[in-house]
Amino acid sequence: MRPLLFILLWLWLSQVVAQTPIQLRVGYFGPTITSPGIRASADYPLLAHNRRVVRHEDTLTKTHQWLVSGSAGYYSRGSLQQALFVIPQTGYQHIGKRGFTKTVLAGIGWLRLTTPSTAYTDLKGNRLRVDVPAESVVMYSVETALGWRYKPKQGRPWGWSLRPSAFWYKDRAGGSSGNLTVSVDVHVQLHKP
Amino acid sequence: MRRLLCLLLPVLLAGCSLEQLDSLQVDHQFSDDYINQNRGRVQYIAPEVYELMHVVIALTPTGRRDCLLQRDTPYHRAVMAQFDTYRNHPLVTQVEKLLAANRWNYTTLADAAAYRFDGERIVFGGIYRKIAVHPEAKFADYRPLAEDFARVSGFRVFFQAQQPLYQTALKKYEQTVPIRAMWAWLETRFPDQYDSYQVNLSLLMGCFHFTNSGRGNGFAETRMFVPLPGAETTPTLVESLARSRVVFTEIDHNYVNPLTTQYNRQLSKAMNNWRDWNTAQGGYESRYETMNEYMTWAVFTLYIYDTTTPNEFAQFQADKSEGLDQFMPNRGFKRFPAFNAQLLTLYKARKSGQTVADLYPAMLDWMANQ
């Protein structure tokens, strides 16, 4: 019974996704250059306002839209820290008539911090292992993005964006921490307009 | 309406979040209890987590060769005897990476001083958040490894066992380094005023000292991070003045730096090229930082001029290792002897009611003519 429900749900979601202008994004996400990570996101325009501009026989469109977005990602700081996160965000996006995009997003999500279980040997020859419990914390994020969106005559709209952002959290010890990040994403819209 | 909503909502959301982001930039949060306990006080403290990080630095390759730590002491030998076996711990590797990347990351220790132990856990002390310079040098990120290191190495038991040594050294420091007198002297000669001094001390700390200050909730505090000399010997006059110099030249940054900021425009004319004044051996690579080093050390000359006998003053000035006119050129501040002499001349000739702060324009004029 349960597998059937999953299949039905999957088919229904596929239909919804194929008919709505959901945009998928994937890109490099790192709190610092030396802390590589990856992030996958989906953006959905909840409200959109299009304004058509006619230029030299071309019809161009300017778009203002209210986005909701969901992201999941991972980054690593080697044997110091590894992190997984899931964060819903919302915000505003402007797509210019030539495809230049400006975005502001803010969100609250979940961040799981782990310290890798590194083994080492002390000078007495004992083999020891660092064993630190993982921590789940609430993360806050503010993100901006500048990018470009291409709209081919045939095929799906796609593009790229450069996304400086800040995220911060209060850890188990009660201390505040956070990072400034820059990510580079490529995106593709699933639905052909 | 829809368009207005589209425009306003993200602005409101971003506004809320930016306000929270802004609160992160405040590196301290003085509670009423903290203010009541510390107003008018000098705190002499050796924070346990701060000392833990010093022990970790002692095990790093940098800590074994750099003057960051005092190595030739019985306490350092005790530290190495107890902890050297854990030199391969990942925390030691991570701290070495930090120090190798940038020596200023040593200030990560100041973040550690804001934490305390609660059993085996390290928890935030509630007042100070962050002063470390480098964005990757937040103690919060090193805390889980620090907890593991402390647990596996028996650090807390060691630190408890060293308490008699620490308490004796702290008491002797309080008796021999007149910080309260420095505080009173500085506040009659500079416009800035502080309600509390916090002196963070370690028996391991060596040549790298630093300071910061915080204001909030109607309260201002300066924090100094300086070495704690052992209590084994009684210092000579010159050694005693040298100990005072170490902490004084940190404390007075909190009075001098705001003045330098105020005179920044005049400074750019007076010190056209900071490299004419500073060979940048210690990383003070700007006009602002160079001026602050010159001024904070020259102000110490004024302090000892006022608080010692002419004989003692002459003896300290002439000392080959501790006299400032020898010490500062060795640090790369090559015009210091002339600067020091000029400030002292202006100070001796000052009019009644004139403060050291009032001598700043005359010093900048003098510098412009060099």
A61 to chain B, closest Cα gap in Å: 15
Q: Is residue B123 assigned to a domain? A: yes
**Domains defined for chain A, CATH in brackets:** 22-189 (2.40.160.20)
User: A49, A76, A117, A142: best mutation site toward chain B, by most B Cβ within 10 Å?
Assistant: A142
- The β-bridge partners of A188 are A24, A158
- Using the 3D structure, point to which of B129, B162, B195 is the last residue of a domain: B162
User: B2, B5, B17, B80: best mutation site toward chain A, by most A Cβ within 10 Å?
Assistant: B17
Full domain range(s) for residue B69: 47-162
Q: Is residue B192 assigned to a domain? A: no
pLDDT tier at B13, thresholds 50, 70, 90: very low
Q: Is residue B81 assigned to a domain? A: yes
**Per the CB < 8 Å rule, is B144 touching A135?**
yes
Burial of B153 (0-12, 13-18, 19+ CB in 10 A): buried
Whole-model pTM: value is: 0.84
A174 to chain B, closest Cα gap in Å: 5
Is there a single domain that holds both residue B148 and residue B260? no
pLDDT tier at A13, thresholds 50, 70, 90: low
- Using the 3D structure, point to which of B119, B145, B162 is the last residue of a domain: B162
Is there a single domain that holds both residue B267 and residue B158? no
According to DSSP, residue B177 is labeled S
Q: pLDDT of B301-317, one tens digit each?
A: 999 999 999 999 999 98
Instruction: Say which range, A71-75, B10-14, B324-328, has the weakest mean pLDDT.
Output: B10-14
ipTM of the complex: 0.79
In this prediction, residues A165-185 reach a mean pLDDT of 86
Is there a single domain that holds both residue B58 and residue B158? yes
Instruction: Say which range, A55-64, A129-138, A153-162, B338-347, has the weakest mean pLDDT.
Output: A55-64
Is there a single domain that holds both residue B256 and residue B150? no
What residues of chain A lie within 8 A of the CB of B87, using their CB? 123
Q: How many CB pairs under 8 A join A and B?
A: 116
Is there a single domain that holds both residue B370 and residue B260? yes
Q: Is residue B355 assigned to a domain? A: yes
- The β-bridge partners of B116 are B123
Burial of B221 (0-12, 13-18, 19+ CB in 10 A): buried
Q: Say what the pLDDT of residue B136 is.
A: 57
Instruction: Say which range, A54-58, A134-138, B89-93, B171-175, has the weakest mean pLDDT.
Output: A54-58
Structural domain count, chain B: 2
In this prediction, residues B5-30 reach a mean pLDDT of 46
Query: Which residue in chain A is spatially nearest to B136 when comparing CA positions?
Result: A32
Instruction: Say which range, A184-188, B23-27, B247-251, B329-333, has the weakest mean pLDDT.
Output: B23-27
Query: Is 60 exceeded by the pLDDT of residue B178?
Result: yes
- Using the 3D structure, point to which of B162, B187, B215 is the last residue of a domain: B162
Q: Say what the pLDDT of residue A19 is.
A: 62
Query: Which residue in chain B is spatially nearest to A83 when comparing CA positions?
Result: B141
Considering only CA atoms, which of A192, A168, A184 is closest in space to residue B20? Answer: A168
Type of residue numbered A18: A
Complete DSSP assignment for B114-136: TEEEETTEEEE-SSB----SSTT
Q: Is residue B286 assigned to a domain? A: yes
Q: Is residue B324 assigned to a domain? A: yes
Coil vs helix vs strand at B187: helix
In this prediction, residues A6-18 reach a mean pLDDT of 66
Mean residue pLDDT of chain B comes to 88
B357 to chain A, closest Cα gap in Å: 37
Question: A46 in contact with B at a CB cutoff of 8 Å?
Answer: no
More confident residue, A7 or A143: A143
**Per the CB < 8 Å rule, is B123 touching A174?**
yes
What residues of chain A lie within 8 A of the CB of B142, using their CB? 80
pLDDT tier at A18, thresholds 50, 70, 90: low
Query: Is 70 exceeded by the pLDDT of residue B133?
Result: no
Q: What beta strand segments (E) does B176-294 contain? A: 196-202, 210-216, 219-227
Question: A171 in contact with B at a CB cutoff of 8 Å?
Answer: yes
Query: Is 70 exceeded by the pLDDT of residue B106?
Result: yes
Q: Is residue B285 assigned to a domain? A: yes
Query: Is 90 exceeded by the pLDDT of residue B81?
Result: yes
Q: Is residue B244 assigned to a domain? A: no
Of B2, B16, B85, the CB nearest to A123: B85
Question: B87 in contact with A at a CB cutoff of 8 Å?
Answer: yes
